[in-house]
Amino acid sequence: MKLEALHIPRVLRGFESAAAEVFDVRIEGAHVADIVASPVQRARGMLISAPVDAHVHIDKAFSVREVGAANGDLFTAIDRTARHRAQWRAEEIEQRMERAVREAWRCGTRAMRTHLDWPDAEPPVALQCFERVRERWHGRVTLQFVALTPLDVFADARAARRIAAAVRQAGGVLGAFVYRNEGIVHKLGHVFDLAQEFGLALDFHVDEGLDADATGLRAIAQLALARGLARPITCGHACSLSVQDAVQARDTLRLCAEAGIALVALPTTNLYLQGAWDETPLPRGITRIREAAAAGLRACLATDNVQDAFYPYGSHDLLQVFGLGVQMAHLAPATDWLDAITVSPARALELDWSGHIAPGCPADLVRLAAADEHDLLHAGGLQRTVIRDGRPLRQDEQQVEQYEETAT
Q: Which domains does the chain have, with CATH numbers?
A: 2-50+356-398 (2.30.40.10), 52-348 (3.20.20.140)
What average pLDDT does range 256-284 have in this prediction?
93
pLDDT at position 350: 98
Residues near 86 by beta carbon (within 8 Å), at least 6 away in sequence? none
User: pLDDT category, 404, cuts 50, 70, 90?
Assistant: very low
Fill in the amino acid letter for 200: L
pLDDT tens per residue across span 217-232: 999 999 999 999 999 9
pLDDT at position 407: 31
User: pLDDT category, 398, cuts 50, 70, 90?
Assistant: low
pLDDT at position 275: 87
pLDDT tens per residue across span 227-254: 999 999 999 999 999 999 999 999 999 9
Do residues 407 and 110 make contact, with C-beta atoms less than 8 angstroms apart? no
Angstrom distances, CA of residue 275 to CA of 208, 209, 270, 350: 12, 9, 9, 34
* Other CB atoms within 10 Å distance of the CB of residue 110: 25
What average pLDDT does range 331-352 have in this prediction?
98
Give helix 216-227 / helix 184-198 axis angle, nearest 10°: 40
Distance CA 322, CA 245 (A): 27
pLDDT at position 402: 41
Residues in the chain: 408
Do residues 149 and 177 make contact, with C-beta atoms less than 8 angstroms apart? yes
pLDDT tens per residue across span 111-164: 999 999 999 999 999 999 999 999 999 999 999 999 999 999 999 999 999 999
Name the more confident of 191 and 276: 191
Distance CA 385, CA 201 (A): 34
Calculate the average pLDDT of the chain: 95
Active-site annotation, residues: 208
pLDDT at position 406: 34
What average pLDDT does range 301-316 have in this prediction?
98
Q: Which of 97, 104, 115 is nearest to 50 (CA)?
A: 104
**DSSP secondary structure letter of residue 13:** B
Looking at the predicted structure, is the pLDDT value of residue 72 above 90? no
Three-state DSSP state, 198? helix
What average pLDDT does range 382-387 have in this prediction?
97
pLDDT at position 399: 56
pTM above 0.85, yes or no: yes
Do residues 179 and 214 make contact, with C-beta atoms less than 8 angstroms apart? yes
Share of the chain above pLDDT 70, in %: 97
Looking at the predicted structure, is the pLDDT value of residue 400 above 80? no
Three-state DSSP state, 89? coil
pLDDT at position 395: 63
pLDDT tens per residue across span 281-291: 888 889 999 99
What average pLDDT does range 370-383 have in this prediction?
96
pLDDT at position 284: 85
What average pLDDT does range 285-311 have in this prediction?
97
pLDDT at position 396: 60
pLDDT tens per residue across span 354-375: 999 999 999 999 999 999 999 9
Looking at the predicted structure, is the pLDDT value of residue 397 above 90? no
